[in-house]
Structure 1
Amino acid sequence: MEPNYLLPNKYKIPGWLLLISGIIGGMFLIASDFESDILQVKVLALYDDNSFLSNQNGQFFKIIENSILDEIIALFIIIGGLLVSFSREKVEDEFIYKLRKDSFVWAMIFNYLILMLAIVFVYNLSFFNVLVYNMFTPLLFFIARFNFLKSRV
Structure 2
Amino acid sequence: MKNNLLIPNKYKVFGWIIFLAFILLHIFTNIIYPEIGEKLPLSTENTSRSFFDASSNMTLAGAGILLGLIMICFTREKNEDEYISYLRLRSWQVSVLISYSILFIANLFIYGSWFLSFMIYNLLTVLLVFIITFNLSLYKIKGERTGDEK
TM range (shorter): 0.7 to 0.9
Q: Please, what is the CA RMSD of the aligned residues? A: 2.1
Q: State TM-score, norm by structure 2.
A: 0.80
After the TM superposition, which residues 51-130 of structure 1 pair with which residues of structure 2 at under 5 Å, given as runs? 65-130=53-118
Structure 1 gaps of 5+ residues are: 44-62
State, as a whole percentage, how many aligned pairs show the same letter. 33
Measured at CA, do residues 28 and 64 of structure 1 come closer, stay the same or move farther in structure 2, by a change above 3 Å?
Answer: closer
Measured at CA, do residues 139 and 42 of structure 1 come closer, stay the same or move farther in structure 2, by a change above 3 Å?
Answer: farther
Q: Which has the higher strand share?
A: 1
Q: Aligned residue for 2:6?
A: 6
The structure with higher relative contact order (CA 8 Å, sep 6+) is 1
> How many Å apart are 1:67 and its aligned residue?
4.0
Q: Which has the higher helix share?
A: 2
Deviation per CA, 1:89-108, whole angstroms, max 9, x where unpaired?
Answer: 11000111011100001000
Distance 1:115 1:30 in 2: 24
Residue 16 in structure 1 maps to residue 35 in structure 2: no
Contact 2:30–2:58 (8 Å) recurs in 1:
no
Structure 2 gaps of 5+ residues are: 142-150
- Count residues in correspondence: 134
